[in-house]
Amino acid sequence: MELEAEVAACSRRRLGIAAGAALCVVLGCAVSPARQLGLPPTASGAEIAEAERLSLRALDRWIEHDSRLQRVSQRMRVAGRELCGGDVAPVLGLAVSGHGAVPESYRAAARVRFAGAGLYVVAVFPGMAAAAAGVEAGDVLLEIASSSVRAERDVYRPRAMLDPAIALRVLRDGTELLLTAESTQGCAYPARLTIAEVVNAAARPSARETYFNTALLREVHDDDQLALVVGHEIAHIILGRVLRTWSSRRDTEAEADYIGAYLAARAGHDLDVGDIEVFDTLVFGNVDAVGRRSRTHPITSARTLALRETLDEIERKRRAGEPLEPSERSPLLR
């Protein structure tokens, strides 16, 4: 019982929501909690409570990884918008989660963590639009610019709007609020966290999305290194959609490295040669489309040398006070 009370209290404390679903554990629900947690029907109350505590911890880790990924990616999308050839969308600067926004294995925990079926704000990034608008963790996002929020894509890539402001309808402690966020444009290529035990990332220009495995988020602790990988994947979409070069050629990898480093630098990441090592941790070097592993090539010494030159080039521009724009003179774009 103590554990159950702790779980319920934890739910309320973290997100300011009623832990209604947690009561199911105590009172019994249509689907037995033991079954929801994958336990045999004979499981004791203590076993169910412990399983629920562990599944909530796993869910919280997922949310932490996703929030970090969104923070790094959304800052880069805004800072790099000029490189995306006008393919932009408002970037709010927040992360959401909910029953339908987590992998199947976290659904039972999500039903405990989140009282309702909507999308809950789980992180608000300082200095970005949502923070300035007064959005808070625990708010349920109901509408963005008069469009209902149903899925994460409605939040991470709201329909392109030219209005300077975006109306956000949120639910906070049972009360609907109308907030106004500045419409900050950024590259229209949101990041998605994928549950996979392979340290890797991918991009899909047709979906205009980038994908990052949970193993990558767990292995790469340095945000500058994560930014290099995020930038590389955003750059693949820029190369594919804006420059219309999309192939498995090694020089495409180098071009993605080049533009990706600029995206990271523009977002304020202070890159040094040690950060390049992050590409050594990517098991397959890179996968150019989700599920396809054929185009795999680990980082080569040539790629490493080219990236070092890129970092030098960026540093020179930064010292000279020049804009951080990829230049045609780069050996990578010859």
Write out the residues near Zn ion by the rule CB under 5 A. 253, 256, 286
Tell me whether residue 156 or residue 211 sits nearer to Zn ion (CB atom): 211
Distance CA 85, CA 73 (A): 18
Tell me whether residue 139 or residue 255 sits nearer to Zn ion (CB atom): 255
Output the residue with the shortest Cβ distance to Zn ion: 286
Min CB(134)–Zn ion separation in Å = 39
What would the DSSP string read from start to end of 7-20?
A: HHHHHHHHH----H
Min CB(300)–Zn ion separation in Å = 13
Tell me whether residue 256 or residue 265 sits nearer to Zn ion (CB atom): 256
Distance CA 212, CA 84 (A): 20
Long-range contacts, 50-55 (Cβ 8 Å, 24+) = 50/3, 52/3, 52/4, 52/7, 52/22, 52/25, 52/109, 52/112, 53/3, 53/6, 53/7, 55/106, 55/108, 55/109
Min CB(67)–Zn ion separation in Å = 25
Half-sphere exposure of 123 (CA within 13 A, CB side): 19
- Each residue of 68-89: b (16+ CB within 10 Å) or e? bbbbbbbbbbbbbbebbeebbb
Tell me whether residue 17 or residue 256 sits nearer to Zn ion (CB atom): 256
Tell me whether residue 106 or residue 262 sits nearer to Zn ion (CB atom): 262
Tell me whether residue 52 or residue 253 sits nearer to Zn ion (CB atom): 253
Min CB(286)–Zn ion separation in Å = 3
Tell me whether residue 55 or residue 225 sits nearer to Zn ion (CB atom): 225
- Each residue of 90-129: b (16+ CB within 10 Å) or e? bbbbbbbbbbebbeeebebbbbbbbbeebbbbbbbbeebb
Min CB(267)–Zn ion separation in Å = 19
Min CB(174)–Zn ion separation in Å = 46
Min CB(12)–Zn ion separation in Å = 43
Distance CA 214, CA 218 (A): 6
